[in-house]
Amino acid sequence: MRALLVLEDGTCVKGTGFGAEKTVFGELVFNTNMTGYQESLTDPSYKGQILMATYPLIGNYGTNKDNFESDKIQPEGYVVSEECDFPSHRKHGKTLHDFLKEYDVPGISEVDTRALTIKIRKHGTVKAALATYDDGIDADALIKKVREMPHPTTRNLVDEVSCKKKNSHKGRGKLNVVCVDCGVKRNIIRNLSKYCNVLQVPYNITSDEINKLKPDGILVSNGPGDPAHPEIKNTTVKMLNEIASDFPIMGICLGHQVLSIVFGAETFKLKFGHRGGNQPVKDMDSGKVYITSQNHGFAVKPDEKDELIFTHYNVNDKTVEGMKHTSLPVFSVQYHPEASPGPKDSIQMFDFFMSMIKREGRGGSITKA
């Protein structure tokens, strides 16, 4: 197949198509990880986006049934420099081409991803279209459609990836934690299950429903899109505002942004986001710098709030990477402690959460500091 990637500024990039034969639209973003392409492709936080890998060779160890972070491929399309069609790994199953084709997702290879990444870093993320085809295609019409389409973040992307019903995950110990699924990665549930039983619930669960469950703690997960989207404010933010003083709460990524909004902070869209496994984050309490994995396009504004203390900052651009409440057992981090690129720099955040739950009592019995 042939393939064409067009950007809203009129840039047209021709390449070789793989995966599904179709045309898709989304926000073009880049990820700097050297490995973990299957985990990235199945990460719900990429919903609504066309994902581009900066590492030049993708697909060299194939795909397998164990490295899924959700039930399917989440980005709208995939952009790589070179697609390897002869993977070599003892566990490899499908090739990257077959993997994308199975989930009806198109890909483009043989393009200069370095030049595209430099363009995004200079001008910011852009709306784009990716088309794979055998016959001809009208590039001008495609550019026109890209320019006229709404930005993907105007959609309630969380609703597209959140679970629709409660799912129980048996874990170790007697504690019970509710995971508010805004697009949760499986590895978050795996890590939580090492400490407790996990009940995965939809993002739009109400505070009354949470109270009936009587959890020992609540985790608000990662996810795609704008944390200040009206439908998120009317559901997840509203629910958390009503129960924030009743349970220990931890937030990860989008969960961090949503919790910050609950306590008066504002969020903004980053120029090109943080997506990769090499983001340095400084813990202001200990002075330590962690190497973290991240995937977000929005951040919390660093304006001081009466109820919030910002605890972590990104060393590269000084954006907020963590916060805690001044009196309630509530904290959050912008990065992904379960991904552990350090390899275990930040995994202790789950230990901290469990210690907080045990210290504050079970079933929502909160002792304010």
* Catalytic position from the list 69, 321, 336, 360: 336
Alpha-carbon distances, residue 188 vs 127, 191, 239 (angstroms): 30, 5, 21
Closest CA to 65 of 90, 44, 94: 94
Please tell me the distance from the alpha carbon of residue 78 to that of residue 251, in angstroms, as a whole number: 28
The contacts of residue 255 (CB under 8 Å, 6+ apart) are: 180, 182, 219, 220, 221, 222, 223, 332
Q: Out of 8, 253, 296, 360, pick the active-site residue.
A: 253
Structural contact between residues 75 and 103, judged by C-beta atoms closer than 8 angstroms: no
Among candidates 77, 74, 78, 79, which has minimal Cα distance to 42?
74
Residues 6+ apart with CB under 8 A from 100: 18, 19, 20, 41, 73, 78, 106, 107
What gap in Å lies between CA 22 and CA 366, rounded to an integer? 53
309, 325, 330, 321: which is closest to 217 by C-alpha? Answer: 330
Q: Would you call 253 a catalytic residue per the annotation? A: yes
Give residue 110's identity as a one-letter amino acid code. Answer: E
The DSSP 8-state label assigned to residue 336 in this structure reads B
Residues 6+ apart with CB under 8 A from 249: 217, 218, 219, 220, 240, 259, 328, 329, 330, 331
Q: At residue 38, what is the residue type?
A: Q
- Check 39, 321, 338, 360 and give the catalytic one: 338
Sheet containing 320-325: order of strands:
167-169, 197-202, 176-181, 217-220, 249-252, 330-333, 320-325, 308-314, 267-283, 289-300
Question: Distance from CA of residue 189 to its chain's centroid?
Answer: 14
Q: Which residues are catalytic?
A: 253, 336, 338
